Amino acid sequence: MRSISVLGATGSVGESAFDLLTRAGGADAWRTVALTGGTNVARLAEMARALRAEIAVTAWPEKLPELRAALAGSGVEAAAGAAAIAEAAARPADWTLSAIVGAAGLPPGLEVLARGGVLALANKETLVAAGPLVMSMARRTGATILPVDSEHSAVFQALNGESLDSVKHVTITASGGAFRDWPLERLARATVAEASCHPNWDMGQRITIDSASMFNKALEVIEAHEFFGIDAGRLRVLVHPQSIVHAMVTHCDGGCIAHLGAPDMRHAIGYALNWPERAALPVPALDLAALGSLTFAEPDEMRWPALRLAREVIAAGGAAGAVFNAAKEQALDDFIAGRIRFTDMAPAVEHALQRAAGQAGFAQSPADLEQVLAWDGLARHAAAQWRGAA
């Protein structure tokens, strides 16, 4: 029986994974080691009971009594806090999904890599904040990273193990999010509720807002650069409102291999779960005749300045990814809390990058988690300060 762990089990990606695991036999088919979650401890306990997990961990210590009560008599161990999540991730499991949102996913992801495990990675922030550290640790321990972000799963499948040497460019698509067709002058007045609606994908609130600002695609461009080792000059983004083509690999011979599928995360999660094999998944096959047409356009960088910032981050290297990710998280917190406008997020992030670039050591990639967290703290502070300065 294969053993599995799911970090961030109660989120949007975590729920999709739970659906797949349950359909594929649940506790009779998988030995579940650890499930982790946040505030929704009732759901976490329900999942842990259903999969007969060894341990369930909430990120928040004040939620531990509630989690304990919900697990009473189940035999599932309960724990709380960031250190307990990292400890749970360090427990041996054949396959671990990281579906935590934000930089909080980095420490437990590193634990999985340190034990040489298979890390199915939805948490793109892990690679954005600490790409060189993460990839070198995986090489050192023999760990395997499987991309679960849909575009990266698509590139991985379209590349099919071929060398990057013969690749002319890699294109990832973007739906354009909630404000694709809004007049530019209206964006400054966009509300959190308006930014939290995605035309095609049903996802957590933070990534949904990041889709409207294209910060999500910016993170994904950096993620692709770090994971596949492809230079920024060969990485492209196309706006594709239907979200059917997820990525395309264009080869030097003019051929282009695209990956198409319904916008359903169960494909990418299920692909990583069954890799290197394929298994039937509860994802509807495409009916291209019913879809009729697929459209593509170049992204407008006036509307989505995050894409320009992503290229600058890749060009800068060093600590820029850690700074970019953390500053973006701060700016998003500030937008959600009503402290800044939707269009203030990119300038706040750019301000943080400029501040960090003046600091000693910026040109070097963080060598360990402590260094990543130091840049993370500096970036959040600088992004929040921009708000004060504005």
| Distance, CA of 281 to CA of 131 (rounded, Å) | 30
Part of the chain binding Mg ion (CB under 5 A), chosen from 133-141, 143-151, 161-169, 295-303: 143-151
Q: Which helix (H) or strand (E) holds 42?
A: helix 41-51
How far apart are alpha carbons 229 and 208 in whole angstroms? 27
Q: Please say which residue, 250 or 330, places its beta carbon nearer to ligand NAD.
A: 330
Residues 186, 181: Cα–Cα separation, whole Å: 10
Q: Which of 26, 204 has the CB closer to Mg ion?
A: 204
Binding site for ligand NAD (CB under 6 A): 8-14, 37-38, 59, 85, 99-101, 104, 122-125, 149-150, 201, 203-204, 206-207, 265
Collect all residues with Cβ–Cβ distance below 8 Å to 89 and sequence separation of at least 6: 5, 7, 34, 36, 96, 108, 109, 111, 112
* Least distance from Mg ion to the Cβ atom of residue 165, Å: 26
**Which residue, among 213, 244, 202, 240, has the nearest Cα to 307 in the 3D structure?**
213
Q: Which two tokens stand for residue 344?
A: 């203030």
Using the minimum distance from each CB to ligand NAD, give the nearer residue, 21 or 100.
100
16 marked ligand binding residue = no
- Smallest gap, in angstroms, from Cβ of residue 69 to ligand NAD? 18
Q: Which amino acid is at 246?
A: H
- The listed partner (Mg ion, ligand NAD, none) that binds 122, CB under 5 to 8 Å by sort, is ligand NAD
The reply, when asked if residue 325 is annotated as ligand binding, is: no
Q: Is 163 annotated as a binding residue?
A: no
Annotated ligand binding at 149? The verdict is yes
**DSSP assignment of 281-347:** -S-PPP-HHHH-----B---TTT-THHHHHHHHHHH-TTHHHHHHHHHHHHHHHHHTTSS-GGGHHH
Structure-derived torsion over alpha carbons of residues 20, 21, 24, 26, reported in degrees to the nearest 10: -150
User: Is 149 among the residues that bind Mg ion (CB under 5 A)?
Assistant: yes
Q: Which does 344 bind (CB under 5 to 8 A by kind): ligand NAD, Mg ion, none?
A: none
- Shortest reach from residue 43's CB to ligand NAD, in Å: 9
Laid out side by side, the sheet with 95-98 consists of 77-80, 55-58, 30-37, 2-7, 95-98, 118-121, 144-147
Could you tell which of ligand NAD, Mg ion, none binds residue 207, using a CB distance below 5 to 8 A set by kind? ligand NAD
CB of 264 to ligand NAD, least distance (A): 9
The smaller minimum CB distance to ligand NAD, of residues 99 and 159, is found at 99
Tell me the C-alpha distance between 371 and 48, whole Å: 34
Q: According to the annotation, is 124 in a ligand binding site?
A: yes
Q: How many CA atoms lie within 13 A of 340 on its CB side?
A: 24
Binding characters for Mg ion, 151-190, by CB under 5 A (x = yes): x---------------------------------------
Nearest-approach distance from CB 125 to ligand NAD, in angstroms? 6
Tell whether residue 328 is among the known ligand binding residues. no
Instruction: Output the known binding site for NADPH.
Output: 10-13, 38, 40, 123, 125, 204
Interface residue list for Mg ion (CB under 5 A): 149-151
Binding residues for 1-deoxy-D-xylulose 5-phosphate: 124, 150-151, 175, 198, 211, 216-217, 220
Cite the annotated binding site by residue number: 10-13, 38, 40, 123-125, 149-151, 175, 198, 204, 211, 216-217, 220
